[in-house]
Every structure is written in structure tokens, then in C-alpha cells.
Amino acid sequence: MIIIMLGAPGTGKGTVAGLLEGKLGYKQVSTGDIFRKNIQEGTELGKLADSYISKGNLVPDDVTIKIVQDRLNQPDVQNGIILDGFPRTVAQAEALDNILANKGKKIDMVLNLTTPEEEIIERIVSRRVCPNPQCKTVYNVVMNPPKKEGICDKCGNELVQRKDDNEETIKSRIATYMEQTSPLVEYYKNQGVLRTEEVSQKINRLGKDVANDIERDIKNQK
């Protein structure tokens, strides 16, 4: 099973992907996590990625495609994968189709999450994440705070705010998404694999509700 997460920053892609990983056993692979790890370690890839990410821009296709292609060859994703943050352009989507075709595989579902922009901004500014690579739990100091302020419930690490989680960068990232990534909605709609779900406090529908519905539908298909 190959699932792709689509949606503007702050729609809850990582949260839903993490929930589905726990429910279905498919490995969540986030290109953002891969880039952040390299940035933290100061690798050449990390420096290159940071020069784009810090300005709210996308990392160039050729760099991102190479990273994902290498990741798809690793043994822990052979039974299922949830791609979070890739593809982000039609060129990346076409490259992914070719990579999977060479493996005799195809995309099973593209889950497109939507959220009103004002909610996205509020959600991201309030977001805190666990820096432990084995945990990566995401909190929101308003909607989903940790039990102890600033401390991860699961592993006890001190929570951090990503340096790009500020209003100016968020607006830039949303604009970039609308320009470069939203055409993927039409691309996958034409392939017949798109499923759009709204995640919003206004309709009282959260990421966990979407994950529960996806889990039910996938298990009913088996």
C-alpha cells in the first residue's frame, strides 16, 4: 500500500500520517524530517536544503527525488509507505510514478487535507515538536498541549518550536504551496486516486477523525 499525503503546511499531514502508521503498520516517510536531520547535522545536503527552507521555498526537485528514491529502496518500506511531503510538484509526481513503475508498484491513495488559512497560521505558530527522532510527537500549545509545559508526554524530551514556524514564513509557504503543489490535486484526481478531507475546528473534524475513517475503509477493502 502506497499512500501520499497532500495539503498546505499546517493541515495536519504529519499528524494523520503518524496515526495511520500506528494503525496500519505502514512506514511514515517525511522528506521534511530527512531535511531537518541533515540541517541539524550540518551536512552538505542540510546546508543546501536550509538555504531554501528557511526562506519558505521548496528544495529543488532533483535533490528531493534522489533522497526519496534512495529511501524507497530500504527494507522497512517494502510492505507499505506513507509519503508525507513528497511529491510537491508535478515533476516530482511524474518521477515517482516512473520509480514505482520500475518496481511494479503504483500509488493506492492520495489523501488531500484542507484547512482554512487562518486556522493554519494559528496552528503552526502554536506548534511544538519533540526533537527526539524516535518520537517526533507534535503538540499544539492551544489545542493539544503536553501534560507538562514544554515537555514531551511520551519520551520526556524538551519540546522545541521550529525556526520556520512563524507567521511570515507560514504565509510564504502557503503561497508556494498554492503555486507549485496544488496542481497535484488535479494530477491525482485525473488518476482516480485522490481523496479530499477537511480538517478544521469549525466543523469539529480533527486529524484523528480522518485517520479513523481511512483505517476503516482500507481494512474493509481487504
Which of the residues 23, 162, 171, 189 is marked catalytic? 162
Q: Mark whether 127 is an active-site residue.
A: yes
Q: Mark whether 173 is an active-site residue.
A: yes
Contact 208, 215 (CB under 8 A): no
| 3-state secondary structure (DSSP) of residue 218 | helix
What would the 3-class secondary structure string for 152-196 be?
CCCCCCECECCCCCCHHHHHHHHHHHHHHHCHHHHHHHHHCCEEE
Which of the residues 13, 123, 128, 136 is marked catalytic? 13
| Rounded Cα gap, residues 159 and 161, in angstroms | 7
Q: Mark whether 36 is an active-site residue.
A: no
CB proximity list for 69: less than 8 A, separation 6 or greater: 99
Which of the residues 88, 123, 128, 136 is marked catalytic? 88
| Rounded Cα gap, residues 10 and 222, in angstroms | 31
Element spanning 27, H or E:
strand 27-30
Q: What's the grid cell of residue 129?
A: 515538536
Q: Mark whether 66 is an active-site residue.
A: no
Q: Mark whether 123 is an active-site residue.
A: no
Q: Give the residue numbers marked as catalytic.
A: 13, 88, 127, 162, 173
